[in-house]
Amino acid sequence: MIEENIGTTDPSSRSLGNPDIAQREYKQLLCLSRPSYKMPIPVGWFCVSYSDELKIGESKPLRYFDTDLVLFRTESGRAVLLDAYCPHLGAHLGYGIHEEVGHGGRIEGETIVCPFHAWRFNAEGECVEVPYASKIPPKAKGRPCIRAWPVRELNGVISAWHHPKGADPLWEVLKYEEANSDEWGEQTRFEWTVNTPMQEMSENAADPAHFLYVHRVHDMPQWDIKYDGHLSQGVQNVNFRTPRGSVAGSISSVANGPGQGTTRFSGLCETFLMGLTTPIDHCTSHVRFIFIQAKADEGSNIAKGLLRDIVKQFEEDKPIWEHKRYRPLPILCDGDGPIASFRKWYSQFYSDFDVGML
C-alpha cells in the first residue's frame, strides 16, 4: 500500500503555472494513481471500548487515531485513556509483565504503574511517584507528561475526544434513553474493521441512489437531511416490506459529529441503532453497530429480521468502500443526493487541514 500524507503536502508548491490548475491536477493524481489513500482523522468523540469490556483494575493497549494508547479503569471506576509510551524510557503502559488484571500495566488506586521501572501516573498524565528516586523530576511533576485524552462513559460505551491540536471538546456525547431504560432490551453488537477512511462510509447517508443497486431496495429512499453545526439529521418515511404485506414506518438518523450516529426504526419493530465509527488510522476504520430493541419486540422474528437486513446492508457496502477511490471532484447527476452539502458539513471536522484539498 502506498501511503502519503495528503494533509501536509502543498499542491501549490508543485505549481509551475496556474495554481488552481495545479491543484486540480494534483487532486486527480491522488485519485487515479494510488492503490489506496489517506484522509485526515476528523475531530470528534469516538468509541474506544464497550464499558463492560474494561473491568476495574484492568488496563489494555489500544490503537486508534494513528496513535498507540493505553486504556484503564481505576479502582474508583473511572475510565482513563493516555498515550501509550512512558516519558521515562518509553515502555508501553498497555503491556504488563506480571499477572495483572487484563494484560497492561498495574492499576493502583487512581493511577497506572509503568511495567518497566514502576513510575506511577494519574488520570491527568502526571507522574505521582518514582519509587526508587528521592524526588520526582521537575519535568514530570505537577503537570502532564503523558497526553491524557478527554473521556466520557455513557450508553454502555467509552468515548474519547480527538482533536489534532489538543483542543477541548467542542460538543458533548449524547445520552440515549434507549440505552439507559428498562423498557429497552439488551445490546446486540456487531463490529467490523473497514479498509476505508470514515468519511467514505458516512457519505452513504447522502447517497440514496446506491440503495437501488447495492441494497436492491424497490424505491429510492427520500430523505430530508438537515445539516446544523456538528449535527446532521435525516428523516425518511418508509414502507417496510414483510411477508404479510407492507407496513408504514419511519427511519430517523442523527449524527452527533463524525463518530456517533444513531438511527431509530419505527413502525415495524421499535429498534434503536448506535452506529459508532472510530478511526484506527488515516485509511482504516473500526465500526460498531449496537442495536437495542424495545423489550416488547425483542426476540421476535421481525425484530431479528430487521437486524439481519441492516447488517446485510452494511456488508453489501463494505466491498464497495474498500475498493473505491475518493473522487474529490465527482461528476454528479440530478438524481444524486446532497453529496456536496454532506462534504461541506463533514469538512468542519478537519480542523487543521486544507479542506480545498479534498
Question: Rounded CA gap, 112 and 92, in Å?
Answer: 12
- Residue 353 binding result from Fe ion, ligand FES, none, given CB thresholds of 5 to 8 Å by partner type: none
Among 43, 69, 114, 292, binds ligand FES (CB under 6 A): 114
Residue 263 binds Fe ion, judged by CB under 5 A: no
- Residue 330 binding result from Fe ion, ligand FES, none, given CB thresholds of 5 to 8 Å by partner type: none
- The single-letter code of the amino acid at 251 is I
Residue 112 binds ligand FES, judged by CB under 6 A: no
Residue 317 binds Fe ion, judged by CB under 5 A: yes
Q: Quick one: which segment of 64-72, 73-81, 116-124, 327-335 binds ligand FES (CB under 6 A)?
A: 116-124
Closest CA to 313 of 186, 232, 211: 211
Question: Which triple of cell numbers denotes residue 348?
Answer: 468542519
- Residue 50 binding result from ligand FES, Fe ion, none, given CB thresholds of 5 to 8 Å by partner type: none
Residue 119 binds ligand FES, judged by CB under 6 A: yes
Residue 204 or 284: which CB sits closer to Fe ion? Answer: 204
- The single-letter code of the amino acid at 208 is P
Question: Rounded CA gap, 328 and 115, in Å?
Answer: 46
Give me the least distance between CB of 116 and ligand FES, in Å please: 4
Question: Rounded CA gap, 214 and 320, in Å?
Answer: 9
Give me the least distance between CB of 91 and ligand FES, in Å please: 4
| Whether 201 contacts 277, CB under 8 Å | yes
Cross-strand pairs, 248: 239
Question: Rounded CA gap, 143 and 127, in Å?
Answer: 8
Coil, helix or strand for 357?
Answer: helix
Give me the least distance between CB of 253 and Fe ion, in Å please: 12
Question: Which triple of cell numbers denotes residue 282?
Answer: 488515516
Footprint (CB under 6 A) of ligand FES, residues 80-109: 86, 88-91
Residue 187 or 204: which CB sits closer to Fe ion? Answer: 204
| Whether 239 contacts 248, CB under 8 Å | yes
Among 34, 55, 63, 117, binds ligand FES (CB under 6 A): 117
Give me the least distance between CB of 130 and ligand FES, in Å please: 8
Q: Quick one: which segment of 67-75, 197-205, 249-257, 334-342 binds Fe ion (CB under 5 A)?
A: 197-205
Residue 204 binds Fe ion, judged by CB under 5 A: yes
Among 50, 95, 116, 171, binds ligand FES (CB under 6 A): 116
- The full 3-state SS of 303-344, as one line of letters, equals HHHHHHHHHHHHHHHHHHHHHCCCCCCCCCCCCCCCHHHHHH
Question: Rounded CA gap, 158 and 49, in Å?
Answer: 5
Do the bridges between strand 44-50 and strand 157-162 make them parallel or antiparallel, or are there none, so unpaired? antiparallel
Q: What x-and-dash track marks residues 40-79 binding ligand FES by CB under 6 A?
A: ----------------------------------------
Residue 298 or 317: which CB sits closer to Fe ion? Answer: 317
Closest CA to 84 of 54, 56, 61, 51: 61
Positions touching ligand FES (CB under 6 A) are 86, 88-91, 114, 116-117, 119
- Residues found near Fe ion in the complex (CB under 5 A): 204, 317
